Amino acid sequence: MDTLRQADVAPQKLFLEGSWQEGTGTPLEATSPIDGTVLTTLSGASAADVDRAVASARQAFDDGRWSRLAPAARKKVLHKIADRIEAEALKLAVLGVRDNGTELNMALKAEPGSAAGTFRYYAEALDKVAGEVAPTPPDILGLVHRAPVGVVAAIVPWNFPLMIGAWKLAPALAMGNSVVLKPAETASLSLLRLAEICAECGLPDGVLNVVTGSGAETGSALSMHMDVDVLTFTGSGATGRRLLEASARSNLKRCYLELGGKSPNIVFADTPDLAHAAKVSAMGIFRNSGQVCVAGSRLLVEASVHDAFVDLLQSEAEALRVGDPLNLSTQIGAVNSEAQLSRNLSFMETAREEGGVVLTGGKRILHETGGSYMAPTIVTDVAREATLFQQEVFGPVLSVTSFESEQEAVSLANATDYGLAAGVWTSNLSRAHRMIAAIRAGVVHVNTYGGPDNTVPLGGVGQSGNGHDKSLHALDKYVDLKTAWIQL
Residues 53-105: tens digit of each pLDDT? 999 999 999 999 999 999 999 999 999 999 999 999 999 999 999 999 999 99
Average of pLDDT values for 383-411?
Answer: 98
Average of pLDDT values for 110-139?
Answer: 97
- Residues forming the active site: 258
- Counting DSSP H helices and E strands in the chain, the numbers are 16, 21
Helices (H), 88-149: 89-100, 104-108, 114-125
Radius of gyration of the chain (CA): 23
Going across the sheet that includes 230-234, the strands are 19-21, 14-16, 208-210, 178-182, 151-155, 230-234, 254-258
Average of pLDDT values for 415-420?
Answer: 98
Number of neighbouring beta carbons within 10 Å of residue 308: 14
Alpha carbon distance 330, 207 (integer Å) = 39
Q: Are 356 and 380 in contact, with CB atoms under 8 Å apart?
A: yes
Number of domains composing the chain: 2
The predicted structure's pLDDT at residue 98: 97
Alpha carbon distance 277, 295 (integer Å) = 15
Q: Is residue 336 part of a domain?
A: yes
The predicted structure's pLDDT at residue 224: 98
Kindly state whether residues 28 and 142 are assigned to the same domain: yes
Q: How confident is the model at residue 454 (pLDDT cuts 50, 70, 90)?
A: very high
Q: What is the pLDDT of residues 273-332, one digit of tens each?
A: 999 999 999 999 999 999 999 999 999 999 999 999 999 999 999 999 999 999 999 999
Q: Is residue 460 part of a domain?
A: no
Provide CB contacts within 8 A for 207, sequence distance 6+: 57, 60, 61, 65, 66, 173, 178, 179
The predicted structure's pLDDT at residue 2: 75
Q: Is residue 381 part of a domain?
A: yes
Coil, helix or strand at residue 98: helix
* Identity of the amino acid at 354: E
Kindly state whether residues 19 and 143 are assigned to the same domain: yes
Q: What is the pLDDT of residues 177-186, one digit of tens each?
A: 999 999 999 9
pLDDT at 424 over 70: yes
Least confident among 1-5, 21-25, 194-198, 268-272 = 1-5
Kindly state whether residues 296 and 371 are assigned to the same domain: yes
- Of 482, 487, 470, which Cα lies nearest the Cα of 168? 470
Structure letter (DSSP) for residue 337: -
The predicted structure's pLDDT at residue 6: 81
Domain hosting residue 196, numbered range: 2-259+465-487
Q: Is residue 175 part of a domain?
A: yes
Q: What is the pLDDT of residues 337-356, one digit of tens each?
A: 999 999 999 999 999 999 99
Q: Is residue 411 part of a domain?
A: yes
The predicted structure's pLDDT at residue 7: 87
Domain CATH for 90 = 3.40.605.10
Kindly state whether residues 291 and 334 are assigned to the same domain: yes
Q: Are 423 and 399 in contact, with CB atoms under 8 Å apart?
A: no
Alpha carbon distance 301, 309 (integer Å) = 8
pLDDT at 439 over 80: yes
Kindly state whether residues 312 and 390 are assigned to the same domain: yes
Q: Is residue 459 part of a domain?
A: no
- Of 310, 301, 298, 273, which Cα lies nearest the Cα of 441? 298
pLDDT at 5 over 90: no
Structure letter (DSSP) for residue 226: T
The predicted structure's pLDDT at residue 406: 98
Coil, helix or strand at residue 357: strand
Q: pTM surpassing 0.85?
A: yes
Kindly state whether residues 255 and 271 are assigned to the same domain: no
Q: Are 16 and 56 in contact, with CB atoms under 8 Å apart?
A: yes
Kindly state whether residues 193 and 209 are assigned to the same domain: yes
**Mean pLDDT taken over the chain:** 97
The predicted structure's pLDDT at residue 1: 67
Kindly state whether residues 97 and 199 are assigned to the same domain: yes
Average of pLDDT values for 239-257?
Answer: 98
Kindly state whether residues 269 and 379 are assigned to the same domain: yes
Q: What is the pLDDT of residues 209-230, one digit of tens each?
A: 999 999 999 999 999 999 999 9
Kindly state whether residues 311 and 419 are assigned to the same domain: yes
Kindly state whether residues 190 and 275 are assigned to the same domain: no
- Of 162, 166, 68, which Cα lies nearest the Cα of 118? 166
Kindly state whether residues 303 and 237 are assigned to the same domain: no
Alpha carbon distance 483, 398 (integer Å) = 50
The predicted structure's pLDDT at residue 3: 82
Per DSSP bridges, beta strands 132-133 and 140-148 are: antiparallel
Domain CATH for 285 = 3.40.309.10
Q: Is residue 478 part of a domain?
A: yes
Average of pLDDT values for 419-436?
Answer: 98
Q: Is residue 474 part of a domain?
A: yes
H or E stretch at 13? none
Query: 271 φ, ψ to 5°?
Result: -55, 130
